[in-house]
Amino acid sequence: MLNRRHFLKSSTVALGTTVVPISLKGRRQNTCTLGFSTYGMKELKTPQALAVLEEIGYDSVELTIKNGWHADPAKLDKKKRIELQKRLADSPLRLTSFMEHVAPTDAKKQTYALNRLKLATEMAHDLAPKCPPLIQSTLGNGKFADMRKSLRDRLGEWLQIADATGTTIAIKPHRGSVVSRPSEAIWLLDQLGNPSRLRMVFDYSHYIFRELSMGDTIRTSLPYTAHIAVKDAVKVNGRVAFKLPGETGTIDFPALIRLFYAGGYDGDFNCEVSGMVWNNKGYDPVVAAKTCYHNMNKALLQAGVR
């Protein structure tokens, strides 16, 4: 298995049998990162998860900070945060994002969301003070047409937290959620003036099988996208089931990567293991992380993206 950190030290990418030199002259100096979300490692403590991802060769990590995961900011006291900050500082992994699931769909949930986002922004700066990770969240359930104005206003309060703390919050359209299409997320962002601290997460697994083409959704989403999650989706008995990225071949990840990179995206491609997968009996988070790495590293090589 080709380790990405070894690959990034090289100036060439093997595409089939042809070696194509990559020149950074006239291009962005940053390269994309390949990461893994600890959403798929619920049973592991954060230091254990980091060690696994380092050994495999990932470039980056997304820490899931939801209640029930080791990195829950409500449970990590100052001492534990200092220890984790030092661990991350010594790691080759870049902390790119936090995963939190909160919703602004009613007043009670909004209060909870604001409290959790404040905790998240504080910990983002505690763990990576020079480059705090973005905080991503879905937006809960409901009908967008009925709730879009209230969502806009409550997201305005999220934006106040983001601006006050110098942290980026990214909302994720999610299949079956109140915001399930890129166009809906973009409407909310545009209503708020398209702020730099409130962005969008792109995850094509939530758009496939819905007459939302990959090319169109990428072109629409690209100017607003700060983070990309990758996983597969298949139809089983008329229903969509999520799989490990690259496992089924339903999504052309090399094409997705090429389109985003050509459009200027140089952020994270983060492997997300759905609860549909990690809730299965016999699920092994280490095997899953290795499989995701193999599949997505191959996709990046095929795309010709460092």
Residue holding tokens 């008329």? 238
Residue 26 burial by Cβ neighbours in a 10 Å radius (0-12, 13-18, 19+): exposed
pLDDT > 90: what percent of the chain? 89
Instruction: Characterize 38-54 residue by residue with b for buried, 16 or more Cβ atoms within 10 angstroms of its Cβ, and e for exposed.
Output: bbbbbebebeebbebbe
Residue holding tokens 């007459």? 211
Nearest by Cα to 155 from 187, 181, 132, 183: 187
Instruction: Characterize 186-199 residue by residue with b for buried, 16 or more Cβ atoms within 10 angstroms of its Cβ, and e for exposed.
Output: bbbbeebeeeebbb
Note the helical H segments in the chain. Answer: 4-8, 46-56, 78-89, 107-127, 144-165, 182-191, 214-221, 253-262, 275-278, 285-303
pLDDT > 70: what percent of the chain? 90
254: Cβ contacts below 8 Å, ≥ 6 apart = 299, 300, 302, 303
> Can you list the domains of the chain with their CATH numbers?
4-303 (3.20.20.150)
Q: How many CB atoms lie within 10 A of CB 87?
A: 15
Nearest by Cα to 63 from 101, 95, 102, 34: 95
Residue 67 has a pLDDT of: 95
207 — phi, psi (to 5°)? Answer: -115, -25
Section 76-102 average pLDDT: 97
Residue 11 burial by Cβ neighbours in a 10 Å radius (0-12, 13-18, 19+): exposed
Q: Over the stretch 125-177, which tens digit does the pLDDT of each residue have?
A: 999 999 999 999 999 999 999 999 999 999 999 999 999 999 999 999 999 99
Residue 306 has a pLDDT of: 80
Residue holding tokens 């089924």? 248
Q: Over the stretch 45-88, which tens digit does the pLDDT of each residue have?
A: 999 999 999 999 999 999 999 999 999 999 999 999 999 999 99
Residue 25 has a pLDDT of: 32
Section 256-261 average pLDDT: 97
pLDDT at 223 over 70: yes
Section 237-263 average pLDDT: 96
Section 183-209 average pLDDT: 98
Any bridge partners for residue 228, and if so which? 202, 269
Residue 5 has a pLDDT of: 52
Nearest by Cα to 81 from 132, 136, 137, 134: 132
- The average confidence (pLDDT) of the chain is 91
**How many residues does this entry show for the chain?**
306
From CA 292, how far away is CA 296, in angstroms rounded? 6
pTM for the structure as a whole: 0.90
Alpha-carbon Rg of the chain, whole angstroms?
Answer: 19
Give how far the C-alpha of residue 251 lies from the chain's centroid of Cα atoms, to the nearest Å.
17
Q: Which residue has the higher pLDDT, 2 or 96?
A: 96
Q: How confident is the model at residue 13 (pLDDT cuts 50, 70, 90)?
A: very low
As given in the structure block, the two tokens for residue 5 are 């950190």
